[in-house]
Amino acid sequence: MTEGPVMVAMSGGVDSSVAAALLIDAGHEVVGVTMKLWGGPSDNGCCAVSDVEDARRVADHLGIEHHTFNFGDDFERDVVGPYVAEHAAGRTPNPCIECNRHLKFDRLLHRADALGFATIATGHHARIVETAAGPRLARGADAAKDQSYVLHVLEPPVLQRLLLPVGTITKADVRRLAADLDLRTATKPESQDVCFITSEHGRKSFLGDRIALKPAKVVDRAGVQVGAVESIELVTIGQRKGLGMAGGTDPRYVIAVDPEALVVTVGDSDDRLVHHSPLESWRWVSDPIDAAVEIQCSAHGAAAPGKIGSSQVEWTDPHRRIAPGQSVVAYLDDVVVGGGIAGRG
């Protein structure tokens, strides 16, 4: 058992609610905190006003203290601003990863330090495993709900201070425990979307309020125009719909986005596949691995085997192109061994 009280980040969802309950059951002194990150409208993420209230009422039900931290300015600077800038540059960002990097496991730890908490906990579905080289992040017990991809940026010093109580159980177990405890979040839907993009207005409206959206032509690999888009900032690699192309042809997919030339290039299914994917950055958790690892390129995508070269992924088998700006995460035996950002190419 950790020494001293544990600060549990409670988002207002079922996972963090059960995380707090499990820690209490294990004998920890627990204090719940909720980070108020987004001050604008939110109807589908983890930043709505109702989420703060749900967290507070769960904490009250569990008999623990609850506090709310307003990190709105930090969220705007470190998550929303870069999200907009990345789209303006024709890239596809991972705002949830940046939120974890800057807010949930940096800003929160600084606040924990100031308040005398040595340990924090969250409701993420991932595990921390001890190795000869120290603590490492690993996939959660529920493969379908694993969140190690969005947590891959956490450094070992953070992992030493972190508890992930639901990482060793399934989502069904979480729901069952929440129901047994009569928690108000037991049947609450999980958050899947970007919290600051509302389902009512969408990404186009959000970005359009912040940057000028530019139309672009859609061309095939020979450079012949075959369609058009209203906003190149909304286009991503692999996209098939919304490209203004005539129907009745074989499916075509976005294989390149050039925001400076205002050109989107499409190709057929085979054109989506590549043997190498460029990397703009890469960080090994420990020593470099000169062998095949399992590589994951999206939060819900399947991993595929490949090697990490000096500036690219070398796929064992042809792999779909990765959108620039997306995180690339490497695993070995379900343990995160490295991560980086996909480049343009």
Structural contact between residues 10 and 66, judged by C-beta atoms closer than 8 angstroms: yes
Report the phi/psi class of residue 325: left, alpha or beta, with left for phi > 0 and alpha for psi in -120 to 50.
Answer: left
Report the phi/psi class of residue 87: left, alpha or beta, with left for phi > 0 and alpha for psi in -120 to 50.
Answer: alpha
Catalytic residue among 46, 47, 96, 99: 99
Question: Smallest Cα–Cα separation from 12: which of 20, 24, 23?
Answer: 20
DSSP per residue, 198-216: -TTTHHHHHHHTTS----E
Catalytic residue among 47, 96, 195, 297: 195
Question: Smallest Cα–Cα separation from 297: which of 323, 261, 271, 316?
Answer: 323
DSSP state at residue 168: G
* Catalytic status, residue 47: no
Structural contact between residues 336 and 138, judged by C-beta atoms closer than 8 angstroms: yes
Residue 279, strand partner residues: 342
* Sheet (strand 119-121) strand order: 65-70, 30-36, 6-9, 119-121, 162-163
Residue 26, strand partner residues: none
* Catalytic status, residue 195: yes
Task: Give the residue numbers marked as catalytic.
Answer: 99, 195
